[in-house]
Structure 1
Amino acid sequence: MSETTAHPAAARLGIPRQTTAPTEGRAEAEQLAGTPAEWELKKDRGSTTVWKVTGPVGQWALKIGRSEDAAVVAREAEVLRRIATVPTTSYGARSKSGRTSDSAWQLTPWLEGPSTWEAFRPVRDGGTDRAQALAAAVDLAAAVGALHQSGWVHGDVQPHHSIHARGGVRLIGCSWAWHLKLPPSYASHSGLLHLMSPELMQRVESEQRPIAPSQPDETYALAAGLWWAATNSWPLDYAHLGIDPATFTAKGLREVLVRRWPPLGRISAWPQLEEVLRAVLTARPSERPSALHLAQWLRSLPS
C-alpha cells in the first residue's frame, strides 16, 4: 500500500485531503501493526501530531513531537515506562519510543472507546438519558483515585484525557505526571487554566518552579472537568466579573482570578450533579474530598 492515503473523514466530506506517513517511528509502527498498514492523521497541532496506524496485526498510536514539543513527548514516554504498573496506564508497558536530532516519538496501543467528554455528549445535547455519562464520571473519578493511591499525580486531568476502553478507564496525556521518584517538570503549565484550583493558581502566579499539582489540586480539576463536560461551560461564572475569558491571555486571566475569584455557574439541567461537584469545588483545600470520595458520591446519584 502507498504511504499516502486519503484521510477517511475528509473522504466522507468529499474533501480531497491527503496524509503522508511520517518517517519517525514508522518502521517500528509497521513492525507492530503489520503491513500493509493504513495511516490516519488524528491530530495535528503543528509541532505535535498523532497518527493511528492500522495493520493486520493490530492498531497503534504514534505521537511525534518536533522542535519544542520533542521534550514533551520524550517526557511522556519516560512517564509511561515508569507508570505501567498502574492499571489506568498499564498500556505503557507495551510502549516504544525514540529520538532524532530534532524530534521525539512514542508508540502506544490504540485505545478504543469514548473519552469522558464524548460520554457526556447526550447530556450536553439536552438528553434525559444520563446513565452513560454518570457511569463515565464514576469510572474516571475511581481511576484518578487509584492513580493517587499509587503515589502518582497525572498533572493534566481533563475529560479529553480519559478513554473508557473495554478493560477500564485509561488515562492519556501523561506528559506532566509526577511521582516522588520522578519530579515534576519545569516546563509544566499545571493543566488547563479553567480547571485549576485557586491555590494552584496562586502557586503558578508566584512563579515558583517547578509547579507540582497536588492530589487535592487534581480532585478540583476532576470535578471542574466533569462540570465542563456536562455543560460545555467553564465552572466559574466569568460573567459575574464582567469579563470574557476568551479575550485574555492565560497570564492575564490568572492575574484577574488571583485578585477576585468568581462564584460557580449552574448545572440547571442536572442539579444533583451540580450539588456533588459544587461541594468539591467550594471546599477548602485541606477539607477537599479525595477522588475516591467523589466517585462514591457520584455512585449515589440517580441516572
Structure 2
Amino acid sequence: MSDITTDQAPSALLGSPHPAPAVTSEEGRAEAEKLTGTPATWELKADRSSTTVWRVTGPMGQWALKVGRGEGTVVVAREAEVLARIGATVPTTSYGARTKSGGTSTSAWLLTPWLEGPSTWDALRPVRDGKVDQRQAALAAAADMAAAVGALHHAGWVHGDIQPHHSIHMPGGVRLIGCSWAWNTSIAPSNAFHGGLLHLMSPELMTRAAAGQGPLGPTQPDEVYGLAASLWWASTGSWPLDYAQLGIDPGKFTASALRQVLVRRWPPFGNIPAWPQLEEVLRAVLTVRPDGRPSALHLAQWLRALPA
C-alpha cells in the first residue's frame, strides 16, 4: 500500500486496472516502467485535485508513483527530499533508500517500492467491528505502530502527519508512509504544513496553529499525542474528542473555524466502553501535560502489556 491518506478519492476508477496511465505519460512513466519492466499494469489508487497515486505492476516488481501538480508539487517534492535524507538509516522508513524522483517547476513525481500489507486502520478493523476474539492481533498491530514511531523519534525525526493510514504492517515490520512533513535538524519544518488532521492534533500544536506561528513543526510530544489519538480513532471509528459535549457537529465546520472553537474550549474525551483497559492507556497519554507525556516507545510497551 502506498500513501493514499485518509481522503477517499471519489473516482469510480479507484482500484481498476489500466494498460497505460491517462495522466502521467510524461511524469515518471519511463522511470516507473524501467523499474517494473513491461508490459506494466497501471492501477489508479488516489486521484485528487493536486495529487495522483498509481500502483505500477510489471514482471520485475511493483512500485507506487505519486505525482503532484499545483499545490501538490511542493508536497511531493518535499517527501522525496525527506526520504532521500532518511535513506536506510531508520528501519521504519528504510524503503526511502530506493526511491526515485524528479519534476519541473509545475509538477513533481516520486517513485517508491509498493509496500504490501494492511494499514493500522485495517489491522484494527476487528476492534471497531466488536470482534473480541481478534483483539490480541489488533493490539499487537497498535503496539507495532507505536514502536515504529518510537524508532523514528529515536533517530531524531518527527513524522509530522501520524495517522492510522500512514503505517503499513509488513512481514519485516511496520513502515511509515506519508512523510512529506517530516523534519529533523537537517531539514526544517515546512511553511506549507498546517498541522495535519485536525482531530489528531495536540492542544499545544492546535494553539500554535491558531496563532499562525510558523513554520509549524510538531514536536515529538505532539506526535505521541497524535499517535494515541490515531489508535483511539482506529479502535473505535470515532474521534477521541467528544464534540457532542460542545453541542457541535465538527463536520459542519471548516478546519480553520473548528480550530478556533477548540482553542477557546477543548472538549472532554469520549469513551471506549467495549475496551476500557485500552481507553485507560490512551487516555493517560491524551490527558497528561506535554512535559509529562510518555514516549512512543513507552506507549508501545504499555500496549504490549495490556490484556486483550
State the TM bucket, normalised to the shorter chain. Answer: over 0.9
Q: Tell me, yes or no, if structure 1 residue 236 matches structure 2 residue 241.
A: yes
* Worse-matched range after superposition: 120-129 or 144-153: 120-129
Mapped to 2, the partners of 1:209 and 1:188 lie a distance apart of 9
Contact 1:7/1:19 (CA < 8 Å) preserved in 2? no
Q: Tell me, yes or no, if structure 1 residue 110 matches structure 2 residue 114.
A: yes
Q: CA deviation at 1:101?
A: 3.7
Contact 1:163/1:171 (CA < 8 Å) preserved in 2? yes
Amino acid at match of 1:68: E
Contact 1:91/1:108 (CA < 8 Å) preserved in 2? yes
Mapped to 1, the partners of 2:252 and 2:79 lie a distance apart of 31
The answer for the alignment partner of 1:123 in structure 2 is 127
Mapped to 2, the partners of 1:9 and 1:79 lie a distance apart of 28
Mapped to 1, the partners of 2:14 and 2:295 lie a distance apart of 42
Report SS of the residue matched to 1:233. coil
Q: CA deviation at 1:201?
A: 0.5
Q: CA deviation at 1:100?
A: 2.5
Contact 2:207/2:263 (CA < 8 Å) preserved in 1? yes
The answer for the alignment partner of 2:229 in structure 1 is 224
Q: Tell me, yes or no, if structure 1 residue 20 matches structure 2 residue 25.
A: no
The answer for the alignment partner of 2:172 in structure 1 is 167
The answer for the alignment partner of 1:3 in structure 2 is none
Q: Tell me, yes or no, if structure 1 residue 100 matches structure 2 residue 104.
A: yes
* Worse-matched range after superposition: 211-220 or 20-29: 20-29
Change (3 A) 1:217 1:10: same
Unaligned runs of 5+ in 1: 1-5
The answer for the alignment partner of 1:48 in structure 2 is 51
Change (3 A) 1:19 1:105: closer
Q: Tell me, yes or no, if structure 1 residue 277 matches structure 2 residue 279.
A: no
Q: CA deviation at 1:21?
A: 6.0
Report SS of the residue matched to 1:273. helix
Report SS of the residue matched to 1:20. coil
Deviations 1:267-286 (A, max 9, x none): 11111110000000000111
Mapped to 1, the partners of 2:216 and 2:23 lie a distance apart of 36
Mapped to 1, the partners of 2:146 and 2:85 lie a distance apart of 22
Contact 1:88/1:170 (CA < 8 Å) preserved in 2? yes
Unaligned runs of 5+ in 2: 1-11
Normalising by structure 1, report the TM-score. Answer: 0.94
Change (3 A) 1:19 1:33: closer
Q: Tell me, yes or no, if structure 1 residue 78 matches structure 2 residue 88.
A: no
Mapped to 2, the partners of 1:289 and 1:101 lie a distance apart of 42
Mapped to 2, the partners of 1:148 and 1:270 lie a distance apart of 28
Contact 2:16/2:43 (CA < 8 Å) preserved in 1? no
Contact 1:21/1:39 (CA < 8 Å) preserved in 2? no
Contact 2:14/2:44 (CA < 8 Å) preserved in 1? no
Contact 2:162/2:227 (CA < 8 Å) preserved in 1? yes
CA RMSD, 1 decimal: 1.7
Q: CA deviation at 1:9?
A: 4.4
Q: Tell me, yes or no, if structure 1 residue 287 matches structure 2 residue 289.
A: no
| Residue identity (%) | 73
Moved over 6 A (4+): none
Change (3 A) 1:8 1:73: closer
Normalising by structure 2, report the TM-score. Answer: 0.92
- Answer 1 or 2: higher relative contact order, Cα 8 Å, separation at least 6: 2
Q: CA deviation at 1:61?
A: 0.3
Q: CA deviation at 1:210?
A: 0.3
Q: CA deviation at 1:10?
A: 4.9
Q: CA deviation at 1:120?
A: 0.7
Report SS of the residue matched to 2:215. coil
Across the two proteins, how many residue pairs are aligned to each other?
Answer: 294
Mapped to 2, the partners of 1:256 and 1:145 lie a distance apart of 31
Q: Tell me, yes or no, if structure 1 residue 66 matches structure 2 residue 69.
A: yes
Q: Tell me, yes or no, if structure 1 residue 186 matches structure 2 residue 191.
A: yes
Among candidates 33, 37, 62, match of residue 36 of structure 2: 33
Report SS of the residue matched to 1:65. strand
